[in-house]
Structure 1
Amino acid sequence: MTKIAWYKKPEMIVALSALLISVVTTIIGIYSTMIDRSYARASVWPRVELFRSFSPEKGHFSYGVMNNGTGPAVIKYAKITHNDKPVKKWSDFIVGTRLVQSHIGTRILPSQANISAITIKDKAYLTEILKMDEQIAIELCYCSIYDECWMVDRSNQPIEIAHCEISDEQRFMQ
């Protein structure tokens, strides 16, 4: 009687086939889960941009924040500096004008929404404001609902960061 090698026995062929199919199915399942997670993140990806606008005829000047992404932006902090010095509120360096302001730090900005951080309505003050504009730096740190965070400044080139941190001395409080 001839002895058959263990791997040639019918029950071992069936067992090894089942094992191979299980391994392939597991790999496909893991890959599919990775794709689903990537799609979920992409479907709620925020893209915050800063903009300014002015109308010389009306004497209006404004800074705004816009979310052009597909999901909400959780704004963690705003940092505004004038002549490289952090400011707490607009009135620290913009005085004697008519201004309308909105809170821009620690808020949720829905997708395709924008807010006007500040609007100055003073035709006589417009030239001085345009000169000040060159000395103002604005930085926002925001996150997606999955806690993926970015920092953006007036160049509108978001930089991915691990998390948003800022000292209270530098935080814009307005």
Structure 2
Amino acid sequence: MDQTKWYKSPEMLVALSALFIGVLTAIISIYSAYIDRAYARASVWPKLEIYRSFRGDTFSYVVANRGTGPAIIEYAKINVGEKIIKRWDEVDIFSKIGQSHISSVTLTPEQTVTPLLYEGDLVSDILELDKSIGMELCYCSVYGDCWVVNRNNEAKPTGECFIKNEEAFIQ
């Protein structure tokens, strides 16, 4: 009887080759799925921008989604100086304005919303007030990746969007 070492037998070489190919295929499949997920996240990546616009006797704040996917706005936080406001009409000069809801909305790519539109003869006063207004929006992608953006358009990733009720802008 031939005493060939177990790893030298043809059946074992075939079995070890099949095992190696199976492990390599599994690794490639896992990597491919990882790349597919990363591509899927990138294909629906939202990017919010906050900017102001003024011309003649019109002043407005605009929020635009410049990303490739929908932006689900979870909350808005607006302050005038140190005071956090819940509504624009808490600021005396904004008693007569046009407005759009900004909290808890979804913006599709390239969609804009104008949370504040003022038309009147006090634009110079509003431009002075504008220096003390701060805005913060927290938004998420459809995959649950979230960011916080401020008026300087500095978007920072965050694990989740959470705000105390007394700080949330409700308009």
Which residue, 132, 135, 143 being the options, matches 1:135? 132
> Per the alignment, in what secondary structure is the counterpart of residue 95 of structure 1?
helix
Tell me, in whole angstroms, the C-alpha distance in 1 between the residues paired with 2:125 and 2:104.
29
Deviation, structure 1 residue 157: 1.4
Deviation, structure 1 residue 129: 0.3
Tell me, in whole angstroms, the C-alpha distance in 2 between the residues paired with 1:97 and 1:139.
22
2:37 is the alignment partner of 1:37: yes
Q: Deviations along 1:128-152, whole A, 9 cap, x unmatched?
A: 1011000100000000001100000
2:160 is the alignment partner of 1:163: yes
Tell me, in whole angstroms, the C-alpha distance in 2 between the residues paired with 1:173 and 1:16.
65
CA RMSD of aligned residues (A): 1.1
Aligned equivalent of 1:113: 111
Tell me, in whole angstroms, the C-alpha distance in 2 between the residues paired with 1:48 and 1:116.
13
2:50 is the alignment partner of 1:53: no
Relative distance call for 1:94 and 1:65 in structure 2 (3 A) is farther
Deviation, structure 1 residue 96: 6.3
Tell me, in whole angstroms, the C-alpha distance in 2 between the residues paired with 1:78 and 1:150.
12
Deviation, structure 1 residue 94: 3.8
Indicate conservation of the 8 Å contact 1:97/1:122, yes or no: no
Q: Which runs of 5+ in 2 are unaligned?
A: none
Indicate conservation of the 8 Å contact 1:141/1:151, yes or no: yes
The number of residue pairs the alignment matches comes to: 171
The equivalences for 1:13-162 within 5 A come to 13-55=13-55, 57=56, 59-95=57-93, 98-123=96-121, 125-162=122-159
> Per the alignment, in what secondary structure is the counterpart of residue 61 of structure 1?
strand
Relative distance call for 1:68 and 1:94 in structure 2 (3 A) is farther
Identity %: 47
Relative distance call for 1:133 and 1:96 in structure 2 (3 A) is closer
Displacement over 6 Å in runs of 4+: none
Tell me, in whole angstroms, the C-alpha distance in 1 between the residues paired with 2:22 and 2:2.
32
Q: Deviations along 1:103-124, whole A, 9 cap, x unmatched?
A: 001000111110111110012x
Q: Which runs of 5+ in 1 are unaligned?
A: none
Tell me, in whole angstroms, the C-alpha distance in 1 between the residues paired with 2:126 and 2:84.
18
Q: What is the TM-score with the length of structure 2 in the denominator? A: 0.97
Q: What is the TM-score with the length of structure 1 in the denominator? A: 0.95
Deviation, structure 1 residue 3: 1.5
